[in-house]
Structure 1
Amino acid sequence: MGVGADPGARHATTGRTGASGVSAVSAAVSEHVPAGREEPATRLAVLWVPDWPVVAAVLEGLVQAHQPIAVHDARGVVAASARARASGVRRGQRRRAAQSLCPDLVLAPMDEGRDVSAFEAVVQAVEGDVPQVQVMRPGVVVLAAQGPRRYFGSEEAVADTLIGAAASAGVEAQVGVADGQLAALIAARESVLVPPGASAAFLAGRDVRDLVHVTTTRQARAEMTEFTGVLRRLGITTLGALAQMRSGQVAARFGALGSQARRLAAGLDGQPPSGRRGEPDLTSAAELDPPAQRMDTAAFAARRLAEDLHARMMRRGVLCGRLRVRARTEDGAELERTWRIEGVLATTELTDRVRWQLDGWLSGRSGRPPSAALTRLTLTAEEVSPANTVAEGLWGRVGRGERQAGRAALRVQGMLGADGVLAPVTEGGRSPRDRVRLVAWGDDVTPVRDPAQPWPGQIPQPLPATVPAEPVPVRVLDQAGDSVGVDDRGALSGMPARVEMAPVRQGHPARQAAHPSGKAMPRRLAVSRWAGPWPVHERWWAGQGARYYLQVAGEEGVALLLSGDGEQWWAEGIYD
């Protein structure tokens, strides 16, 4: 496949990687290995597939591997293929800027569920050679290096085995081995093996912004980005400078996050070893009756278990370092996957991890679907530790009625499917339809378009109380019965006298659109007052012309918001 790997690094992912990587790094850091370090760090091996979102899009058949590809979300480019990067496309660019640099650029939307499901095949291939691997995020697998090194004879052999396993799944990967999680992650990105004890020197000259590589949750990523920004403004720009600071000073100024970052920058584990007994694991399990063979059935049970596990962690004020997902089939087979967690998982993130994992198993995209329907699902929070910042708020606490409503929505969703219960999300936009987006109950409710940003030309308050699922075609007529349109200067061609609903097909949402007071949307409305039209110019680059908005009210107490292109009109909303 190789769509995400840099051309210059392709030879470094072969069996020669280990030897060449060790010699290169050893020469660079041998003079700076700290002597007599009392606290050893965990030796980790990391397998990294470059630009995994791009690779996943290719594996799913959305794009072709030979094309310049960029995966994007609402904010901009998330990942780009090597060919796209050669044209100047970079992560974080706006889509229009990326397309101006590379006119042949092929865009694919970001889909975390697709990334997780497609990565399951790679993880299963790695597990066939090396047991007890942990998925940090799609495209990254972490495992303790000591056991595999003893079995295969050397760390170079471990790297060769991991790269071969990924190749058998159809992707090119890079492997790094080092002391500490941050050093191992960066070593994988450079395809090198860092000698034992040399991680601190390996990291010393690197930018503090590289700390973001260890995060796996949205909250942790945002906090680490803000923290590294503060460090750079204070003049602490390298990991070596952060590691040289006194631990007491860092803890007093930046708290637990600063202490963790300093330890990672020094090539140590994120948390110091504790002499006390750890917190017991937390487990939520459920029998699936009837057995689940379809994704929507399994997703209902998974969401309920994930919310229960998250609520228990919140009540105890703890967080977990690993999430283990187990499933048992009717014929007794066991499916298991472990996710490594850095930071606090929100309820939606925990639910998504479990749902995406089940989708990877049940969809068959891994090449090894379950041998039978699932009969039991178990979620276990491991490496549980106290979290000083995890607690329910004093204000805004979820009440009993809200919890009961949530459980009722989940039960209905289990009967109707994931899209059977929808929740509104406030979005940025101009029309009422653009300013609300419906998502499946329990999914991420983060707005795609920031509603706090200015939206020139948006419909002013108050907004219509009812917005039909689809715009309702109508005709605006004057006293003589002629159609009222809008000329090139934005003026009406006549005085609106009545609005008539255009003929619609049977089952069209217009037939069910009703006024909040209980009145059905009128098929004919005598206009007594009107305002507008207001022109809105948007998406001009796509050839879309101006749209015009018109408000009309009748003596019947019904007011409508109409939109049109100058000739045809549609009812966009009904005012209360």
Structure 2
Amino acid sequence: MAREVSAPRVLALWCPDWPAIAAGAEKDLSPEQPIAVLSGGRVLSCSAAARAAGVRRGMRKREVQAICPHLYVTVDDAGRSARMFEPVLAAVADVIPAVEVMRPGLMVMSISGATRHFGSEADIAERVIDVVSACGVESQTGIADEVFTAVLAARHARLVDPGGGREFLAPLAVSELGCEPVLCAGPNGVADRDELIDLLWRMGIRTIGAFAALEVTDVSTRFGTDAVVAHRSARALPTRPVSARGPDADLVVEYRCDPLLEFVEAAAFVGRRLADDLHQRLLAANVACTRLTVRAVTASATSYARTWRCVRPMTPEDTADRIRWQLEGWMSGRNAPRPDAPIAVLRLEPVEVIDAAEMQYGFSGAGLPSDNETQERVRRALVRVQGLLGGDAVRVPVRSGGRGPAEQVTMVALGDEPAAARDPSLPWPGRLGGPSPAVLSSEPVEVLDAAGSPVRVTTRGGFSADPVSLCWGRRSWSVRWWTGPWSADEKWWMPGNDGVTSRAQVLLDDSRALLLRHERSAWVVEGVYE
């Protein structure tokens, strides 16, 4: 008889208000002391006592201090949160070794094998809560078939039945799709769902179930990339790329410390170097890491290890931060005994990698990527080309001032100061409005009227006759629609320059739209709309 294999189950453990709890624990504040942690001048996290006084997330500093004058206010410190979370991790790891950290205050673990030892899933959840309570920390657990549902289940202290993830998620408010920013990042690095949630709300979609009921094709064609990831989460489907696979042994990086590492600062310096080495190997292998184990071996051969999980691929900065947080937790000795000897070996072990082909990148701004990982990859490629072809061979665009689309871009050599040739903040009367052409050009063209005579712009700023056809290259097209011309009297004070430039837009019979520029009695195609 074939043996039935049970589906993997995930337990999530969530410590509410962790940044505030960690800040209070570091200063040994009373549990009754209201605490608020700020990020960007707004409340990121607050304690239960602060909420009872009326403090809420998103409030400004002055506002919360007016509401609660005896409030303890501090800024967000990811290193502090990670360091104070280490004793909780160590306690849970003694019960279930395969613990993955999503962020300080939130961890997930597979319990498929643990049920054979502890009994039911409820018994496992109770045991984990007990060991966390022994550390003086309140927590909630949730169990489901995949990570996203398990985390929301932890927020509601629910154990979801196998296969019941979608039913559990259905009545929840659609805003809960963005309740954990660490879960809101797809392969392209998108991490903020406020705009998506606001759009769904205005469309009348108020629950996760209503969003899950939409067709996949409708979501993929009418919303952004992250909406597709959110839609999979709403249907309780795993969001990991299908290409996820175990790493090759040659992706592991290791550093044998000489001299041995006894202080956090020295270990963090080595960790940053290891992070750069690891990402060089990942880049060469055309993969990115989504789960990473940080391992330290002391001179007495004692091994310490912790696994960190990210939904989006880790950047070198992400990796270096997690190494430092983990080393601070191990070596500070503030919340747990220090290692029994100095660190002799530091090792980074990618637990899960994805193919680079599965990652989608978005570009924005002055020709540069919008996320750190993409920016680093593009920068390295461009620097390499620049080294082969010379400093001026690689140029990047900088937004500039001007009236035409070509004038609104200044190309500067990679590495030079991104200084615009013309100030874009000036009014520039006569500037062409959006949208801008997708392709710039400067090819000559003839615009003809019904009699086949050239169409010009008169001194009164109008067409000499209605445009009927257009000769571009060796072909001729009919003009289905046109608008303009718009004239700008530029540099009229300069000798030998009539200064009058006119622009018009035309739609050809093959549905292409062109931007034309008329100057010195001649037309050129200035741009093509796509």
Q: What TM-score range do you get, normalising by the shorter chain? A: 0.5 to 0.7
| 8 Å Cα contact 1:318/1:385 also seen in 2 | yes
Q: Equivalent residue for 2:478?
A: none
Q: Given the superposition, is the C-alpha separation of residues 342 and 65 from structure 1 closer, same or farther in structure 2, using an over 3 Å criterion?
A: same
Structure 2 residue 214 is matched with structure 1 residue 245: yes
| 8 Å Cα contact 2:43/2:59 also seen in 1 | yes
Structure 2 residue 383 is matched with structure 1 residue 399: yes
- Which secondary structure state, in structure 1, belongs to the residue aligned with residue 113 of structure 2? helix
Taking every aligned residue pair, what percent have the same amino acid on both sides?
Answer: 40
Q: 1:148 aligns with which of 101, 110, 114?
A: 114
* Offset of residue 205 of structure 1: 2.1
Q: Given the superposition, is the C-alpha separation of residues 143 and 382 from structure 1 closer, same or farther in structure 2, using an over 3 Å criterion?
A: same
Q: 2:99 aligns with which of 107, 123, 133?
A: 133
Q: Given the superposition, is the C-alpha separation of residues 236 and 397 from structure 1 closer, same or farther in structure 2, using an over 3 Å criterion?
A: farther
Amino acid of the structure 1 residue aligned with 2:360: N
* Offset of residue 306 of structure 1: 0.9
Q: Equivalent residue for 2:269?
A: 300
* Offset of residue 113 of structure 1: 0.3
Higher relative contact order (CA 8 A, sep 6+): 1
* Offset of residue 298 of structure 1: 0.7
Distance in 2 between residues matched to 1:217 and 1:349, nearest whole Å: 15
Q: Equivalent residue for 1:187?
A: 153
- Which secondary structure state, in structure 1, belongs to the residue aligned with residue 333 of structure 2? coil
Q: Equivalent residue for 1:348?
A: 317
Q: 1:166 aligns with which of 132, 142, 147?
A: 132
Q: Given the superposition, is the C-alpha separation of residues 226 and 315 from structure 1 closer, same or farther in structure 2, using an over 3 Å criterion?
A: farther
- Which secondary structure state, in structure 2, belongs to the residue aligned with residue 312 of structure 1? helix
TM-superposition CA deviations, 1:46-103 (whole Å, max 9, x none): 1111111111112212633221111112331111111111121111110111122222
Structure 2 residue 349 is matched with structure 1 residue 365: no
Structure 2 residue 59 is matched with structure 1 residue 93: yes
Q: Equivalent residue for 1:312?
A: 281
Q: Given the superposition, is the C-alpha separation of residues 380 and 107 from structure 1 closer, same or farther in structure 2, using an over 3 Å criterion?
A: same
**In proportion to residue count, which structure has more strand?**
2
Amino acid of the structure 2 residue aligned with 1:156: A
**Which shifted more, 332-341 or 313-322?**
313-322
Q: 1:384 aligns with which of 330, 353, 358?
A: 353
Please say which structure displays the higher CA radius of gyration: 2
**Which shifted more, 250-259 or 356-365?**
250-259
Distance in 2 between residues matched to 1:127 and 1:375, nearest whole Å: 23
Q: Given the superposition, is the C-alpha separation of residues 402 and 201 from structure 1 closer, same or farther in structure 2, using an over 3 Å criterion?
A: same
* Offset of residue 166 of structure 1: 0.4
| 8 Å Cα contact 1:121/1:365 also seen in 2 | no
| 8 Å Cα contact 1:63/1:106 also seen in 2 | no
* Offset of residue 43 of structure 1: 1.8
TM-superposition CA deviations, 1:218-243 (whole Å, max 9, x none): 97463444443444444444221221
Aligned residues: 364
- Which secondary structure state, in structure 1, belongs to the residue aligned with residue 265 of structure 2? helix
* Offset of residue 198 of structure 1: 1.5
Q: Equivalent residue for 2:511?
A: none
Give the unaligned 5+ runs of structure 1.
1-38, 404-576
- Which secondary structure state, in structure 2, belongs to the residue aligned with residue 383 of structure 1? strand
**Which shifted more, 181-190 or 241-250?**
241-250
Q: 1:157 aligns with which of 98, 123, 130?
A: 123
Q: Equivalent residue for 1:51?
A: 17
What TM-score do the two structures reach when normalised by structure 2?
0.63
Q: Equivalent residue for 2:39?
A: 73
Q: Given the superposition, is the C-alpha separation of residues 272 and 300 from structure 1 closer, same or farther in structure 2, using an over 3 Å criterion?
A: closer
User: What RMSD in Å do the two structures reach over aligned CA positions?
Assistant: 2.9
Amino acid of the structure 2 residue aligned with 1:312: R
Give the unaligned 5+ runs of structure 2.
362-372, 388-530
- Which secondary structure state, in structure 2, belongs to the residue aligned with residue 147 of structure 1? coil
- Which secondary structure state, in structure 2, belongs to the residue aligned with residue 342 of structure 1? coil
Distance in 2 between residues matched to 1:251 and 1:226, nearest whole Å: 16
- Which secondary structure state, in structure 2, belongs to the residue aligned with residue 307 of structure 1? helix
Distance in 2 between residues matched to 1:178 and 1:394, nearest whole Å: 39
Amino acid of the structure 1 residue aligned with 2:300: D
Amino acid of the structure 2 residue aligned with 1:399: V
Q: Equivalent residue for 2:450?
A: none
TM-superposition CA deviations, 1:357-391 (whole Å, max 9, x none): 01111111241321111111111222211223364
* Offset of residue 266 of structure 1: 1.0
